[in-house]
Protein backbone atom coordinates (compact mmCIF):
# COMPACT_ATOMS: atom_id res chain seq x y z
CA UNK A 1 0.00 0.00 0.00
CA UNK A 2 2.75 2.43 1.00
CA UNK A 3 4.68 1.45 -2.06
CA UNK A 4 1.77 2.36 -4.26
CA UNK A 5 0.78 5.67 -2.75
CA UNK A 6 4.06 6.95 -1.37
CA UNK A 7 4.93 10.17 -3.13
CA UNK A 8 7.25 11.46 -0.39
CA UNK A 9 10.15 13.17 -2.14
CA UNK A 10 12.92 14.19 0.25
CA UNK A 11 15.87 16.27 -0.93
CA UNK A 12 19.02 17.22 0.95
CA UNK A 13 21.57 19.67 -0.30
CA UNK A 14 24.76 21.12 1.08
CA UNK A 15 26.99 23.91 -0.12
CA UNK A 16 30.08 25.60 1.21
CA UNK A 17 31.43 28.88 -0.14
CA UNK A 18 35.11 29.81 0.05
CA UNK A 19 35.95 33.09 -1.56
CA UNK A 20 35.46 32.53 -5.28
CA UNK A 21 34.68 28.86 -4.83
CA UNK A 22 31.44 27.25 -3.91
CA UNK A 23 31.27 23.50 -3.33
CA UNK A 24 27.87 21.82 -3.45
CA UNK A 25 26.42 18.39 -3.09
CA UNK A 26 22.86 17.11 -3.04
CA UNK A 27 20.79 13.99 -2.77
CA UNK A 28 17.15 13.64 -3.59
CA UNK A 29 14.51 11.03 -3.97
CA UNK A 30 11.50 11.80 -6.08
CA UNK A 31 8.41 9.82 -6.85
CA UNK A 32 6.25 10.29 -9.84
CA UNK A 33 2.74 8.95 -9.96
CA UNK A 34 1.57 7.24 -13.13
CA UNK A 35 0.08 9.64 -15.59
CA UNK A 36 -3.57 9.40 -16.45
CA UNK A 37 -2.70 8.27 -19.94
CA UNK A 38 -0.78 5.39 -18.39
CA UNK A 39 -3.51 4.46 -15.93
CA UNK A 40 -6.25 4.75 -18.54
CA UNK A 41 -4.45 4.57 -21.86
CA UNK A 42 -7.54 4.38 -23.99
CA UNK A 43 -9.03 1.56 -25.89
CA UNK A 44 -7.38 -0.77 -28.31
CA UNK A 45 -9.56 -2.14 -31.09
CA UNK A 46 -8.79 -5.46 -32.76
CA UNK A 47 -10.91 -6.57 -35.70
CA UNK A 48 -11.13 -10.09 -37.00
CA UNK A 49 -13.40 -11.83 -39.43
CA UNK A 50 -16.06 -14.36 -38.50
CA UNK A 51 -17.61 -14.64 -41.95
CA UNK A 52 -16.65 -13.07 -45.24
CA UNK A 53 -19.59 -13.83 -47.53
CA UNK A 54 -19.28 -12.81 -51.15
CA UNK A 55 -22.09 -12.75 -53.64
CA UNK A 56 -22.05 -11.43 -57.16
CA UNK A 57 -24.87 -9.06 -56.26
CA UNK A 58 -23.32 -6.44 -53.96
CA UNK A 59 -26.62 -6.22 -52.05
CA UNK A 60 -26.21 -9.84 -51.02
CA UNK A 61 -22.73 -9.58 -49.64
CA UNK A 62 -22.05 -9.68 -45.93
CA UNK A 63 -19.06 -9.71 -43.61
CA UNK A 64 -19.41 -10.60 -39.96
CA UNK A 65 -16.57 -9.00 -38.04
CA UNK A 66 -15.78 -9.08 -34.35
CA UNK A 67 -14.18 -6.05 -32.81
CA UNK A 68 -12.38 -6.91 -29.62
CA UNK A 69 -12.15 -3.86 -27.42
CA UNK A 70 -9.39 -3.82 -24.88
CA UNK A 71 -10.01 -1.16 -22.28
CA UNK A 72 -7.14 -1.42 -19.85
CA UNK A 73 -7.31 0.09 -16.40
CA UNK A 74 -3.77 -0.11 -15.14
CA UNK A 75 -4.57 0.50 -11.51
CA UNK A 76 -1.79 -1.88 -10.56
CA UNK A 77 0.83 0.59 -11.74
CA UNK A 78 3.02 2.05 -9.01
CA UNK A 79 4.82 5.37 -8.96
CA UNK A 80 8.29 5.32 -10.36
CA UNK A 81 11.06 6.85 -8.29
CA UNK A 82 14.32 8.52 -9.00
CA UNK A 83 17.36 8.61 -6.78
CA UNK A 84 19.54 11.59 -7.71
CA UNK A 85 22.99 12.30 -6.36
CA UNK A 86 25.09 15.24 -7.47
CA UNK A 87 28.27 16.99 -6.56
CA UNK A 88 29.87 20.08 -8.07
CA UNK A 89 31.60 23.37 -7.58
CA UNK A 90 31.37 26.93 -8.84
CA UNK A 91 34.29 29.24 -9.48
CA UNK A 92 33.35 32.86 -9.90
CA UNK A 93 36.23 35.25 -10.43
CA UNK A 94 35.37 38.73 -11.65
CA UNK A 95 35.57 37.99 -15.33
CA UNK A 96 33.51 34.76 -15.59
CA UNK A 97 31.53 32.09 -13.84
CA UNK A 98 32.45 28.46 -14.07
CA UNK A 99 30.20 25.65 -12.87
CA UNK A 100 30.98 21.96 -12.82
CA UNK A 101 28.52 19.25 -11.82
CA UNK A 102 28.59 15.48 -11.76
CA UNK A 103 25.38 13.58 -11.11
CA UNK A 104 24.02 10.06 -11.04
CA UNK A 105 20.33 9.44 -11.51
CA UNK A 106 18.70 6.07 -10.99
CA UNK A 107 15.16 5.61 -12.21
CA UNK A 108 13.34 2.57 -10.91
CA UNK A 109 9.92 1.12 -11.63
CA UNK A 110 9.68 3.22 -14.73
CA UNK A 111 6.49 2.68 -16.64
CA UNK A 112 6.98 1.21 -20.08
CA UNK A 113 5.11 -0.90 -22.60
CA UNK A 114 5.58 -4.64 -22.55
CA UNK A 115 4.13 -7.38 -24.75
CA UNK A 116 1.36 -9.74 -23.79
CA UNK A 117 -0.10 -12.56 -25.89
CA UNK A 118 -3.87 -12.90 -25.78
CA UNK A 119 -6.15 -15.43 -27.44
CA UNK A 120 -9.37 -13.90 -28.66
CA UNK A 121 -12.34 -16.19 -29.25
CA UNK A 122 -13.68 -16.30 -32.78
CA UNK A 123 -17.08 -17.81 -33.39
CA UNK A 124 -17.60 -19.25 -36.85
CA UNK A 125 -20.75 -18.23 -38.74
CA UNK A 126 -22.63 -19.70 -41.66
CA UNK A 127 -25.25 -18.49 -44.07
CA UNK A 128 -28.60 -20.09 -43.36
CA UNK A 129 -30.71 -18.17 -45.83
CA UNK A 130 -29.78 -16.03 -48.80
CA UNK A 131 -32.85 -14.21 -50.10
CA UNK A 132 -32.42 -12.44 -53.44
CA UNK A 133 -31.20 -8.87 -53.38
CA UNK A 134 -30.84 -8.89 -49.60
CA UNK A 135 -28.09 -9.61 -47.23
CA UNK A 136 -28.12 -13.23 -46.10
CA UNK A 137 -29.30 -14.50 -42.75
CA UNK A 138 -26.43 -15.96 -40.75
CA UNK A 139 -26.12 -18.01 -37.59
CA UNK A 140 -23.24 -19.15 -35.40
CA UNK A 141 -21.91 -22.60 -36.21
CA UNK A 142 -22.22 -24.72 -33.12
CA UNK A 143 -18.87 -25.98 -31.94
CA UNK A 144 -16.82 -23.86 -34.31
CA UNK A 145 -14.97 -21.73 -31.83
CA UNK A 146 -11.36 -20.93 -32.59
CA UNK A 147 -8.92 -18.47 -31.06
CA UNK A 148 -7.09 -15.59 -32.63
CA UNK A 149 -3.66 -14.89 -31.15
CA UNK A 150 -2.69 -11.27 -30.80
CA UNK A 151 0.20 -9.45 -29.18
CA UNK A 152 -0.95 -6.51 -27.07
CA UNK A 153 1.09 -3.75 -25.51
CA UNK A 154 0.44 -3.20 -21.82
CA UNK A 155 2.01 -0.83 -19.31
CA UNK A 156 4.16 -2.33 -16.58
CA UNK A 157 6.61 -1.01 -13.98
CA UNK A 158 9.44 -2.72 -15.78
CA UNK A 159 11.77 0.05 -16.82
CA UNK A 160 15.03 1.05 -15.13
CA UNK A 161 17.42 3.77 -16.22
CA UNK A 162 20.82 4.61 -14.75
CA UNK A 163 22.30 7.89 -15.88
CA UNK A 164 25.72 9.37 -15.17
CA UNK A 165 26.29 12.92 -16.25
CA UNK A 166 28.94 15.60 -16.28
CA UNK A 167 28.09 19.20 -17.02
CA UNK A 168 30.02 22.42 -16.99
CA UNK A 169 28.96 25.95 -17.74
CA UNK A 170 31.19 28.86 -18.60
CA UNK A 171 29.24 32.11 -18.49
CA UNK A 172 29.60 35.84 -18.10
CA UNK A 173 32.76 36.12 -20.15
CA UNK A 174 32.41 39.69 -21.39
CA UNK A 175 34.32 41.61 -24.03
CA UNK A 176 33.71 45.16 -22.91
CA UNK A 177 34.96 47.12 -25.94
CA UNK A 178 32.53 45.45 -28.22
CA UNK A 179 29.71 44.90 -25.73
CA UNK A 180 29.86 41.19 -26.42
CA UNK A 181 29.30 38.25 -24.12
CA UNK A 182 30.26 34.61 -24.59
CA UNK A 183 28.79 31.57 -22.82
CA UNK A 184 29.56 27.92 -23.24
CA UNK A 185 27.77 24.89 -21.85
CA UNK A 186 28.90 21.29 -22.22
CA UNK A 187 27.22 18.05 -21.14
CA UNK A 188 28.15 14.41 -21.27
CA UNK A 189 25.49 11.85 -20.45
CA UNK A 190 25.70 8.10 -20.26
CA UNK A 191 22.52 6.18 -19.61
CA UNK A 192 21.74 2.50 -19.42
CA UNK A 193 18.10 1.52 -19.94
CA UNK A 194 16.78 -1.88 -18.97
CA UNK A 195 13.33 -3.19 -19.84
CA UNK A 196 12.40 -6.19 -17.72
CA UNK A 197 9.18 -6.93 -19.59
CA UNK A 198 8.30 -9.51 -22.24
CA UNK A 199 9.35 -9.08 -25.82
CA UNK A 200 7.04 -11.22 -27.97
CA UNK A 201 7.19 -11.24 -31.73
CA UNK A 202 5.17 -12.70 -34.55
CA UNK A 203 6.79 -15.57 -36.45
CA UNK A 204 8.79 -14.72 -39.56
CA UNK A 205 6.68 -17.06 -41.61
CA UNK A 206 3.86 -19.54 -41.33
CA UNK A 207 3.71 -22.97 -42.92
CA UNK A 208 0.31 -24.56 -43.20
CA UNK A 209 -2.25 -24.67 -40.44
CA UNK A 210 -1.70 -24.39 -36.69
CA UNK A 211 2.04 -23.93 -36.94
CA UNK A 212 2.26 -20.29 -35.90
CA UNK A 213 4.51 -19.72 -32.91
CA UNK A 214 5.31 -16.50 -31.14
CA UNK A 215 8.91 -16.08 -30.03
CA UNK A 216 9.77 -14.63 -26.65
CA UNK A 217 13.01 -12.65 -26.58
CA UNK A 218 15.21 -10.96 -24.04
CA UNK A 219 14.85 -7.21 -24.10
CA UNK A 220 18.15 -5.61 -24.90
CA UNK A 221 19.96 -3.23 -22.60
CA UNK A 222 20.28 0.10 -24.35
CA UNK A 223 23.33 2.16 -23.59
CA UNK A 224 23.21 5.73 -24.78
CA UNK A 225 26.19 8.05 -24.72
CA UNK A 226 25.66 11.68 -25.63
CA UNK A 227 28.10 14.52 -25.68
CA UNK A 228 27.00 18.01 -26.67
CA UNK A 229 27.54 21.65 -25.99
CA UNK A 230 26.35 25.13 -26.88
CA UNK A 231 28.44 28.20 -27.60
CA UNK A 232 26.44 31.39 -27.30
CA UNK A 233 27.52 34.81 -28.50
CA UNK A 234 25.44 37.77 -27.34
CA UNK A 235 26.10 41.05 -29.04
CA UNK A 236 24.63 44.23 -27.57
CA UNK A 237 24.32 47.41 -29.59
CA UNK A 238 23.08 49.86 -26.93
CA UNK A 239 22.72 52.80 -29.26
CA UNK A 240 20.21 50.87 -31.29
CA UNK A 241 18.74 49.02 -28.30
CA UNK A 242 19.48 45.88 -30.27
CA UNK A 243 20.59 42.44 -29.09
CA UNK A 244 21.81 39.72 -31.43
CA UNK A 245 22.18 36.20 -30.05
CA UNK A 246 23.94 33.50 -31.99
CA UNK A 247 23.94 30.03 -30.48
CA UNK A 248 25.83 27.16 -32.03
CA UNK A 249 25.01 23.66 -30.89
CA UNK A 250 27.90 21.23 -31.06
CA UNK A 251 26.71 17.65 -31.19
CA UNK A 252 29.90 15.80 -30.54
CA UNK A 253 28.60 12.30 -30.08
CA UNK A 254 25.30 10.49 -30.03
CA UNK A 255 25.99 6.79 -29.68
CA UNK A 256 23.53 4.01 -28.88
CA UNK A 257 24.28 0.36 -28.53
CA UNK A 258 21.86 -2.45 -27.86
CA UNK A 259 23.60 -4.84 -25.54
CA UNK A 260 22.46 -8.41 -25.05
CA UNK A 261 20.07 -7.99 -27.97
CA UNK A 262 19.37 -11.43 -29.30
CA UNK A 263 17.84 -12.63 -32.51
CA UNK A 264 17.28 -15.98 -30.82
CA UNK A 265 14.18 -16.68 -28.72
CA UNK A 266 14.48 -18.22 -25.29
CA UNK A 267 10.88 -19.43 -25.38
CA UNK A 268 7.78 -19.34 -27.48
CA UNK A 269 4.03 -19.39 -27.19
CA UNK A 270 2.33 -21.98 -29.36
CA UNK A 271 -0.92 -21.35 -31.20
CA UNK A 272 -2.84 -22.43 -28.10
CA UNK A 273 -1.05 -19.95 -25.86
CA UNK A 274 1.20 -22.45 -24.09
CA UNK A 275 4.53 -21.01 -22.95
CA UNK A 276 7.36 -23.33 -23.94
CA UNK A 277 11.02 -22.81 -23.02
CA UNK A 278 13.65 -23.48 -25.67
CA UNK A 279 16.88 -25.13 -24.47
CA UNK A 280 19.78 -22.77 -25.01
CA UNK A 281 21.66 -25.11 -27.32
CA UNK A 282 18.65 -25.39 -29.63
CA UNK A 283 17.75 -21.73 -30.03
CA UNK A 284 19.69 -21.27 -33.24
CA UNK A 285 18.61 -24.56 -34.76
CA UNK A 286 16.71 -24.91 -38.00
CA UNK A 287 13.69 -26.06 -36.04
CA UNK A 288 13.15 -22.52 -34.79
CA UNK A 289 14.01 -20.55 -37.90
CA UNK A 290 10.45 -19.24 -37.99
CA UNK A 291 11.21 -17.42 -34.73
CA UNK A 292 14.77 -16.19 -35.24
CA UNK A 293 14.48 -12.48 -35.72
CA UNK A 294 15.66 -10.35 -38.55
CA UNK A 295 18.53 -8.16 -37.32
CA UNK A 296 16.61 -5.15 -38.59
CA UNK A 297 14.26 -5.38 -35.59
CA UNK A 298 16.90 -3.48 -33.71
CA UNK A 299 19.91 -1.49 -34.80
CA UNK A 300 22.87 -2.92 -32.91
CA UNK A 301 24.68 0.38 -33.01
CA UNK A 302 23.57 3.87 -33.90
CA UNK A 303 26.41 6.35 -34.09
CA UNK A 304 25.67 9.88 -35.19
CA UNK A 305 28.65 11.85 -36.50
CA UNK A 306 29.60 15.28 -35.22
CA UNK A 307 27.35 18.02 -36.50
CA UNK A 308 26.41 21.55 -35.62
CA UNK A 309 23.22 23.52 -35.54
CA UNK A 310 23.02 27.30 -35.64
CA UNK A 311 20.27 29.26 -33.92
CA UNK A 312 19.67 32.96 -34.28
CA UNK A 313 17.74 35.46 -32.18
CA UNK A 314 17.46 39.21 -32.62
CA UNK A 315 15.78 41.51 -30.15
CA UNK A 316 14.97 45.16 -30.53
CA UNK A 317 13.76 47.47 -27.78
CA UNK A 318 12.24 50.84 -28.21
CA UNK A 319 12.65 53.88 -26.04
CA UNK A 320 9.17 53.35 -24.77
CA UNK A 321 10.13 49.92 -23.47
CA UNK A 322 8.44 47.84 -26.15
CA UNK A 323 10.43 44.95 -27.49
CA UNK A 324 10.29 42.86 -30.61
CA UNK A 325 12.18 39.67 -31.18
CA UNK A 326 12.63 37.17 -33.93
CA UNK A 327 14.23 33.77 -33.69
CA UNK A 328 15.15 31.08 -36.13
CA UNK A 329 16.38 27.69 -35.04
CA UNK A 330 18.51 25.96 -37.63
CA UNK A 331 18.54 29.27 -39.50
CA UNK A 332 20.97 28.22 -42.27
CA UNK A 333 18.83 25.12 -42.90
CA UNK A 334 21.81 22.86 -42.60
CA UNK A 335 20.86 19.17 -42.99
CA UNK A 336 23.89 16.91 -42.81
CA UNK A 337 23.37 13.32 -43.87
CA UNK A 338 25.02 10.08 -42.83
CA UNK A 339 24.57 6.39 -43.57
CA UNK A 340 23.59 4.05 -40.74
CA UNK A 341 23.02 0.34 -41.26
CA UNK A 342 22.50 0.93 -44.96
CA UNK A 343 19.95 3.71 -44.47
CA UNK A 344 20.63 7.35 -45.21
CA UNK A 345 19.54 9.55 -42.35
CA UNK A 346 19.24 13.30 -42.15
CA UNK A 347 19.97 15.47 -39.17
CA UNK A 348 18.62 18.91 -38.24
CA UNK A 349 15.36 18.19 -39.95
CA UNK A 350 13.41 20.93 -38.20
CA UNK A 351 13.39 24.59 -38.99
CA UNK A 352 11.62 26.76 -36.43
CA UNK A 353 11.03 30.46 -36.73
CA UNK A 354 9.08 32.74 -34.44
CA UNK A 355 8.28 36.31 -33.67
CA UNK A 356 7.28 37.90 -30.43
CA UNK A 357 6.37 41.41 -29.37
CA UNK A 358 6.09 42.93 -25.93
CA UNK A 359 4.12 46.11 -25.70
CA UNK A 360 4.49 48.16 -22.55
CA UNK A 361 1.33 49.99 -21.62
CA UNK A 362 1.82 52.61 -18.96
Residues that bind other proteins (CB under 8 A): 48-49, 52-54, 56, 63, 122, 127, 146, 148-151, 202-212, 214, 271, 286-287, 289-290, 294-296, 299, 341-343
Nearer to other proteins, 113 or 150 (CB): 150
Nearer to other proteins, 3 or 56 (CB): 56
Nearest approach in angstroms of CB 206 to other proteins is 5
Nearest approach in angstroms of CB 286 to other proteins is 6
Nearest approach in angstroms of CB 47 to other proteins is 8
Pairing of β 137-175 and β 97-129 = antiparallel
Cα four-point dihedral sign 256, 259, 263, 267: negative
Nearest approach in angstroms of CB 34 to other proteins is 30
Nearest approach in angstroms of CB 87 to other proteins is 42
Pairing of β 80-91 and β 180-195 = unpaired
H or E stretch including 236? Answer: strand 221-237
Nearer to other proteins, 93 or 295 (CB): 295
DSSP for 80-148?
EEEEEEEEEEEE--TT-EEEEEEEEEEEEEEEEEEEEEEEEEEEEEEEEE--TTSPPEEEEEEEEEEEE
Reference 202, options 292, 67, 276, 114; nearest CA is: 292
Nearer to other proteins, 120 or 234 (CB): 120
Nearer to other proteins, 76 or 204 (CB): 204
Determine the Cα–Cα distance for residues 65 and 332; give it in Å rounded to an integer: 53
The distance in angstroms from the start CA to the end CA of the chain is 56
What b/e readout covers 233-249, taking b as 16+ CB neighbours within 10 angstroms?
ebebeeeeeebebebeb
Nearer to other proteins, 56 or 176 (CB): 56
Nearest approach in angstroms of CB 4 to other proteins is 35
**Residue 82 half-sphere exposure, CB side, CA atoms within 13 Å?**
17
Amino acid sequence: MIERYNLFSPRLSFSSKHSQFNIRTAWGLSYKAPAMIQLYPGRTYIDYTNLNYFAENPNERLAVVTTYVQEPTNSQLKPNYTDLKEIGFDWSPSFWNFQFTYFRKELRRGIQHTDELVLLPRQGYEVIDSPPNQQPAVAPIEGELTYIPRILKVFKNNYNVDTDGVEFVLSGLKIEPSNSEVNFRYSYLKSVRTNLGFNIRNPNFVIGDNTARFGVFENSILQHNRSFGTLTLIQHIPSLRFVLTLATEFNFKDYRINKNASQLPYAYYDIDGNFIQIPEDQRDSEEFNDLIQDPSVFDPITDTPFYTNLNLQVRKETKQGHSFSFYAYNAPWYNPEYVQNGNTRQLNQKLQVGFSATILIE
